[in-house]
Structure 1
Amino acid sequence: MEKLPKAGILFAIGIVLAIIILFKSSVNIGAGEAGVLFNFFSGVDTSKTYGEGFHIIAPWNDMTEFRVKQQSFSDSMEVLSVNGLKVTVEGTVWFQPEYDNLPRLYKEKGANYVETILDPAINAATRSVVGRYTPEQLYSSKKEIIVSEIMSELTKELKGQYLTVNKVFVKEVKLPPKINDAIERKLRQEQEAQEYEFRLVKAQKEAERQRIDAQGKAAANDILSKSLTDKILMEKGIEATLKLAESPNSKVIVVGSSDNGGLPIILGNQ
């Protein structure tokens, strides 16, 4: 009879141990994540990346999970322009670890690779790009150009680091207040000068148009004056006289003498 309680206790202990072992041996990796196995005897297993779902491992081993879907890292940093002035750059980088090389990333760079690898690479790339420009160039340059250059430099910095950069976004480039105000004043003055130049050119073109128009009219009048001979004037005068004679309105018409070519002179019209 005494053996039954002992057997029950041993059975209960066995069940508990089995549950503990099963709990320690089972791993469920979530969506968008992957696992790296750390073997108690040999260290990080670099031969395999464990994907989503349920996995059974030896209880003395350990599984470390990482996000492998695209993620972002935002930062604000002070860098120097080409003439030594401080510039603040705010931006965001979208990246993800290389799935097949995740075990190597963990073994060589550690679990906190964002702080140890990505952040320094972003700083180095940004300093390299911003250091090529003056504050005036940074103010007027299109962000797309800066983004493209940072992306290129960042890709070089992360070569062989088991990380893929998908996109770089520069939110803002802040210049020192005095430099920023001076650049804005200069741009306003340039804009005003361009507007004045535009108005001046427009006025010059209008004056030229009027001059050409006046020359055209003068030339036309000169041609007309030369073409009006005495005979033509006499003919026009006769035509006018005939039209006046046909008009029903009462009037007095005196036909001119030979001094005016016989053109009609209207003395009255009612």
Structure 2
Amino acid sequence: MLLSSNRMRQEGQAMRPISLSFGGLRVGLLVFVVLLLLYMTATVVPAGHVGVQDFFGSVSDRILPAGINVVVPGTRVVKFSVQTREIKETAAVPTSEGLIVNLDVSLLFKLRPEAAGRIYKTVGRQFEAVVIDPQLRSAIRDVTAEYEAKFLYSASREVVSQNMFKHMQGALAPRGIEAEQVLLRNVQLPPLLTTAIQEKLQAEQQAQRMRFVLDRERQEADRKRVEAQGIADFQSIVAKGISAELLKWKAIEVAHELSKSPNAKVIVLGDKSGLPIILSDK
């Protein structure tokens, strides 16, 4: 009996490491399964994006916001940017006169988050090339054809860009795309028209300069006229204040002062005016 008991104790001690190793394997397997499930069900949507859930062709209406989200295993998450982006377009388009002008246009737009699922189902991920590019080219042609080339070269170009923006806003809003602004970056007119416009601007500047010169000369003439009138008024006032008696009195004062001078003088008095006449002064 003692031998049998010792043998069983030895067998139990030998089986203990095996059971411990199996226990550790089960824990490791459980951890692996948990991590695998987390990997399959958790997804990260970057900042400025939203996620559309595609479960084997079935698109969910629930849009995933930016951050960590939990989804059903096997679900593919398609990410869409909702940040403001820019599309550039260069086009050679005719004006209302039939002249061909080259325009560089930029469109600022963004996708509304709630419309991401609808865009994915109806258009796809490359909706910019499918929807926005053709609409922008069409808007550039339609709006430019309504204006003369001079409107694109002057300050009125802002009106042209605003009309393009209205066209794009009306075309993109029903699809869940928000047009923010249309910018005319560059306008290239035909060389002959550019030369004619520059010559016209130079002529207008020359005319403005001549008008400035004429205004300045006119003001100078007015100033001289006012000055002459002031002198005339002064002389008239002085003339009214001078009488024959005053002149005779001043003549007597002059003769009196001359008599005090040590120099020899010949003074003739008694002419018709009564004023002294100095004949010599030595």
Fold shared per TM-score above 0.5? yes
Aligned to 1:149: 163
TM-superposed CA distance for 1:16, in Å, is 8.7
Deviation larger for 196-205 or 87-96: 196-205
Partner residue, 1:4: none
Q: What is the match of residue 107 of structure 2?
A: 93
CA offset digits 1:8-45 (Å, max 9, x no partner): xxx9999999877654443221121110112326x222
Unaligned runs of 5+ in 2: 1-21
1:137 corresponding residue in structure 2 = 151
- TM-score, normalising length: structure 2: 0.75
CA pair 141-127 structure 1, distance change in 2 beyond 3 A: farther
**Distance between the aligned counterparts of 2:78 and 2:112, measured in 1?**
16
In the TM superposition, residue 205 of structure 1 has moved relative to its aligned partner by 3.6
Q: 1:97 deviation in Å?
A: 0.6
Alpha-carbon distance between aligned partners in 2 of 1:114 and 1:179, rounded to the nearest angstrom: 35
TM-score (norm 1): 0.78
Q: Secondary structure at the match of 2:179?
A: strand
The answer to whether the aligner puts 1:164 opposite 2:159 as a matched pair is no
- For 2:119, the aligned partner's letter is L
Shift of 1:56: 2.9
The separation in 1 between residues aligned to 2:264 and 2:80, in whole angstroms, is 113
Give the gaps of 5 or more residues in structure 1: 1-6
Task: Kindly indicate whether residue 272 of structure 2 is the aligned counterpart of residue 259 of structure 1.
Answer: yes
1:36 aligns with 2:65: no
User: Does the CA contact (< 8 Å) of 2:151 and 2:157 recur in 1?
Assistant: no
Residue in structure 2 matched with residue 3 of structure 1 by the alignment: none
TM-superposed CA distance for 1:262, in Å, is 3.3
- Of all paired residues, the percent bearing the same amino acid is 25
**C-alpha deviation, 1:254, in angstroms:** 2.7
Q: 1:86 to 1:14 in 2, by over 3 A?
A: farther
- Contact 1:121–1:157 (CA under 8 A) maintained in structure 2: yes
Q: Which residue of 2 aligns with 1:52?
A: 66
2:208 to 191, 194, 199: 194
Alpha-carbon deviation of 1:214? 3.1
Which whole-Å CA distance do the structure 2 matches of 1:139 and 1:256 have between them? 87
Q: Is the 8 A contact 1:234 1:263 kept in 2?
A: no
Alignment of 1:167-178 (within 5 A): 167-178=181-192
Tell me which protein shows more helix as a share of its residues.
2
Give the deviation of 1:98 after TM superposition.
0.6
Moved more, 170-179 or 154-163: 154-163
Residue aligning to 2:5 = none
